[in-house]
Every structure is written in structure tokens, then in C-alpha cells.
A and B are shown apart, each in its own frame.
Chain A
Amino acid sequence: MPGQPSHDGTETELAIDAQDVHVTYADGTTAVRGATLRVERGEFFGFLGPNGAGKTTTIKTLVTLLHPTDGSVRINGYDTVTEPQAVRESIGYMAQETSIDRELSPRENLQLTCELYGVPESEREDRIAELLDLVDLEAVADTRSETFSGGMKKRLDAATVLVHRPPVVFLDEPTTGLDPEARLRLWEYFERINERGTTVFLTTQYLEEADQLCDRLSLLQDGQVIATGGPEQLKSEVGVDVIDLRLADATDEAKQHATQVLQRLDAVGDATVATTTGGVTVRSPAVREAASEVFAALDDAGIAVESFDVRSPTLDDVFLALTEGSTEESPATGVASLGTEVVQ
């Protein structure tokens, strides 16, 4: 029985059950306006949105750091407002800011979190060794962490979240500001803990990250969940195909010209045309069939195409399609960024 409290001894399927959560700060700012999230045990769930969409406020509400102004949150069957202690005992939370004690070594930081969570003394040594191995910090286990790189600190932070083997972990933009290699290592680590049965709730502004890691995800904009589903499902629901065109002349004027030409083209139907760093991108349900018309139109207008790519949509395209016409900034794209800029 999903969503039911577990006090009667029945199993709760839902690791996270947030019903119509609203959060308004004391200064009157409403950061979350009606977020409903249902995450099953063992899922790798993504929470995706641009800066300022309310991701951090939502995650802080889920981990008992904030109380919802309206609505309710149950984590592992426990209410975050009336049973915060039980929630705290059954979760791990990695904040957006790296939270480690820089004056302590990795081993001491892990020791401290073992003590905070009452991990039995007989198990501490093994768990600490296992976690140091998992995040690849054995070599510096007894060095004070203040000199570490951002990536090493993040990995240590991630390890401290797991000392008590929580059934659910919350990760708030864990890879922001990391170089691609450090990011890949953290991804691997999160996948490993998810494979061990841990429910993972991850917020990110990197679409590629969500695409790669998540079983399901919710898109958040302006404090509201605008779509929820598996990455493939979301992509197919948008129902568009995409042509990326690289122009021989990639000046702003040339790109603007190409944009105008393509927007007037009937064959592509209801298309979204966006400029990219090297040319333009056309998103439309009909674009695959109309590819030859696109090239003909550009040729007629005297615009030379250097290369092109007809592809299926990415989450980036999903996000743009869902937020089309809004003035909100689009989320940053992943490692292979297109640098897309919405025109229409």
C-alpha cells in the first residue's frame, strides 16, 4: 500500500512520498508551489531544474531542515514534521555545499559521522575502510582535508553520508563545479550504492547527469513539477526530432538569417529554431521528413551548411519543449554542451 504510514507494521513501498508541498519563506518568497513526488524504494530518482527553480528548498524540506508551509512529506513512512527524529535516522543527506570538517582527516570525518549516527564501535573500522576504498581516499586517509581538491572533498562528503547505510540518500547537486573526470567517478559511486539497494534522490541542473543515472525524474520549474517520467518516456512524449546544423559562416547575423528562413518554412511545421555556438538547431515533430526542404531553403537563401546531424531528442530538448515561451533560463547542458539559446 504505497503512501501509507508504516506504524501498523505493513511495508511501505514509497521511500519518498511528498504530497502537494508548498514552501514560503518568512520574507514572503514562495520557493515551492505544489510539488508532489512519489519515489519507490530502490529507485534512482532525478530532480531536475534550472537555478532558482526550488530544488534545494524542496530537498531541505524532504530531509527535515525545513517544514512545508502546506502539504505533507513522508520519508520511509515517517512524517518529517511530527517524526523528524525517525526520518533523520533513516536518511543520508549530501548538501550542495561540501560539508566536511576541514580540520579533520578523512578517517576522522568518517569516524565523527559514525559517532553521530551511533554506528556500533565494532563495525566502525570496517565501514570506514570500505568507504575510503569506495571513494578512493585510502592514500590520504590520515591527511587533514583542508588541502584537498574540490573533487576529493566532495568524495569524502559523499562517503560520510553513507556510514550508517541509510536506505535513502538525498544528493543536492553533488557534481556541480567538478571537472568531468571527478564527475564521472562520483556517478560511478552513486550507481554502485543504488545497485546495493539504496534509494537515491538526486537534484541536478545537468541534463546529461539525469539522463545517464536516473530511472525516473521530475522536471521542476518555478517551484512546480512540470513533468515526471523515465528519461526515454519524457523524450518520446515530447515527440520531436532534431536537426543540428553547423553553418560555414557562424556569425550572429548569419545565424539570425538562417533562423528567419527556417521559421518561415512551412514544411517543418510548428518548429522551434534555436541558435547554437556553431549554427542553428531545429526541433519539430516533422523535421526528419522535412530534412531535404530544410537544406533546399537554406541553399536558396545562400546559406552554406558545413555539417548536420539528425537525431532523437535529449532531455535538453524535452526541457526546452516544456518550458517553451517562458522567460526562465534553461538548465545548463551536460558535458557535451550545445550552448543552446532559445529563440522562439
Chain B
Amino acid sequence: MSDQSANAVQRASANSPATDVRVSFKRWLVKTARNPYVTFTSLVQPIIFLVLFVEVFGAVSEGALAEVFAGDINYVTYLTPAIVIMSTLSSAAVSGIGLVDDMEEGMFEKVLVSPMNRSAMFLGKVLSEVARIVVQTTIILVLGYVLLAVKTGDSVDAYLQTGVAGFLGVIGVTVVFGGVFMAYSNIVALVTRDQEATIMLANLLTFPLVFVSSAFLPLEVLPGWIETAAVANPITYGVDSVRAIMLGEDVMTVLDVTAFGGLWNTVVPSIAVLVGCLFVLGGFAVRLLRRAARADVQ
């Protein structure tokens, strides 16, 4: 090879793919930590929602909860899974903004023209968003328990029936659920190549979808059309699986599955639906990304 000869052209040494992932991960983590919007959606917003919803709907929802669940379930315990999923949604749905930003600022091209491994560049970004979701989910779970303890003095066992395994399970569900909406956001970003459109379509989705699901009240007490719409809403599956893990029982009403027993009757079909969505949307997002990074002009 010419590299060894005295007159050889000097070349930069390419990193291993793992190093490339780490470089990209670190960059996005720093950017995330510096963004005030992130602090708001990850910390302030969940606190506001959790406290306000509990205060406003807590009293009236007791009847609805008693109607559906045999045991005595506090609304805090019922609502926390919804706040976990909602916050995951808000974080994941803005994933594409960073990508559009990079394209507008020329950083996308700058990385493309460098020796960096392309897949590693995106993997690092995705991992930084996953890290954000993990941290945020942990904070909300702790917050929910603090609120419950203050209101009722209940122990952790009553709050999270499935213990440490359940906690890890909830984290796992939020990561898969987040992946679905990260893919969605990146598809919007790559199709529109526009920051405002990406933000708008993220917001447009977040609110109505959360209400047309089992997030805030059991579907049994909601109008029939919401129950019908909730079947096709990924949020239902995200919320139901987190709720099933926390309550330790089968809570899903949109699909009637009895094959797995207990909480698994909710978790298994829900995760199957979410993983299916992740493969379809994720595959499409990867295809669009590949096309954006390709050098062909014709």
C-alpha cells in the first residue's frame, strides 16, 4: 500500500464503529443536556401533568376505577403509566428536529464527508435519545411514588407490584415505545426537511393520541368511539403494558388475550404490536436516511 511509502498521502485513521457510535452519542448527549426545552419536557411538564391531573381528576375518577378494578387503586398509581408514556412520546417525537437541524447547519454533510461510519452516526444519536428516555422514566416513576406516599402513605409494594423486575420492564417498554415515535419523527423530518413541520407534526400527534387511549381513564367508562379508536392507537399498548407491570395484573381491554396468564396477557400482545410498528416505521426511516446519505445523483 502507498501508505507506507515515504511520499505517501497522509490519511486520517478511521475509528472502529464502536468509537464512532461513542463519538456521536457523546455529541448528542451534550446537545440534549444544553437544550432548555429538554429540561422542560423531561422534568417540568411531567410534574405539572402528574400533580394537576391527580388533583383535578383524582376525586372524580375513583368511581370509574372502582367500577373496573376489583382492588382499591389510587388514581396516582393508575395515572403514572400514562405520564411515563406521554413523556416518552414528547421526547421521541422531537427526534427528527436534531436531524433537520444538522441538515440545515451543514453538520450532516460534514459528517458524511468524514470517514465516520454512517450507521454509527445515527446509532449514537438514537442511543442518546434512549438514554434520555431511561433517565426521564426513572424520574417520573420516583415522582409518582413520592406523590402517592404523600397522599396516602402507601408503600412501594402497593405502587409497583412487580418490584425491580417490573421497574426494568417499564424501562424496556418505554424504550421500544419511544423507538416507534423516534422513527415516525425522523420520517417526517426526512420527508419535509423542515424544522417547523417536524415540530408541528410532533405536537399535532401527541395530544389527541393520548386522549384517544386508555391513558387517563379506563376505556370501559369512555364513549364507544374512543374505545374503537384506541385499538389502533400505539399509545394504548404502551400505557397498558406499563400499567399491567405496575399493577401486576391484566389491564388490557382492546385485545382479548388469555393465553399467557396474568399481566402477560397484556404485556406480550402489546409489545408484539409495538415491535411490529417499530420494524415497519424504523425500516422506512432507515431507508429514507440511506437515500439522504447516498452520493448518487441519478
Contacts and interface: CB of A to CB of B under 8 A. Distances in A.
Interface string A80-106: 010011101111010101111111100
Given A100-B105, A101-B107, A116-B23, A9 B12 contact: no
Contacts of B296: 66-67
Given A25-B298, A67-B295, A99-B109, A76 B31 contact: no
B211 to A, nearest CB: 34
B111 interface: yes
Contacts of B12: 89-90, 117-119, 164, 166
B298 A101 contact: no
A236 interface: no
Interface string B40-58: 0000000000000000000
Nearest to B109: A95
Contacts of B14: 85, 89, 118
Interface residues of A, number: 51
Contacts of A84: 295
Contacts of A85: 14, 115
B152 interface: no
Interface residues of B, number: 36
B172 to A, nearest CB: 30
Contacts of A104: 27, 30-31
Given A65-B112, A118-B115, A108 B30 contact: yes
Contact of A63 (B23, B31, B113, B115): B113
Contact of A89 (B11, B26, B34): B11
A61 to B, nearest CB: 8
B59 interface: no
Contacts of B9: 6, 12, 76-77, 90, 167
User: Interface on chain B toward A: helix, strand, loop, or mixed SS?
Assistant: loop
Interface in B1-35: 1-2, 4-5, 7-15, 19, 23, 26-27, 30-31, 34-35
A103 B34 contact: yes
A10 B295 CA distance: 29
Contacts of A103: 30-31, 34-35
B1 A95 contact: no
B23 to A, nearest CB: 4
Interface string A112-149: 11011111100000000000000000000000100000
B110 interface: yes
Contacts of A89: 11-14, 115
B116 interface: yes
A26 interface: yes
Interface string A8-48: 01111000000000011110000000000000000000000
Nearest to A15: B9
Given A9-B5, A117-B114, A118-B13, A24 B297 contact: yes
Nearest to A99: B106
B15 to A, nearest CB: 5
Given A25-B297, A116-B114, A167 B10 contact: yes
A99 B295 contact: no
Contacts of A24: 297-298
B107 A88 contact: no
A266 B295 CA distance: 55
A250 B12 CA distance: 58
Contacts of B5: 9, 11
B109 A115 contact: no
Contacts of B31: 101, 103-104
Nearest to B106: A99
A64 interface: yes
Given A89-B12, A90-B12, A6 B295 contact: no
A25 B296 CA distance: 9
B295 A66 contact: yes
B297 A67 contact: yes
A117 B113 contact: no
Given A101-B27, A115-B23, A166-B12, A88 B114 contact: yes
B82 to A, nearest CB: 32
12 contacts: A12-B2, A24-B297, A65-B112, A89-B14, A91-B113, A97-B106, A101-B31, A104-B27, A118-B19, A120-B13, A167-B9, A167-B10
Given A7-B2, A10-B2, 13 more contacts: A6-B8, A11-B5, A11-B7, A65-B109, A77-B9, A90-B11, A100-B105, A102-B105, A103-B34, A108-B30, A112-B27, A115-B15, A118-B19
**5 closest pairs, A vs B, by CB?**
A99-B106, A164-B12, A89-B11, A117-B12, A6-B2
Interface of A: 6-7, 9-12, 23-26, 63-67, 69, 76-77, 81, 84-86, 88-91, 93, 95, 97-104, 108, 112-113, 115-120, 144, 160, 164-167
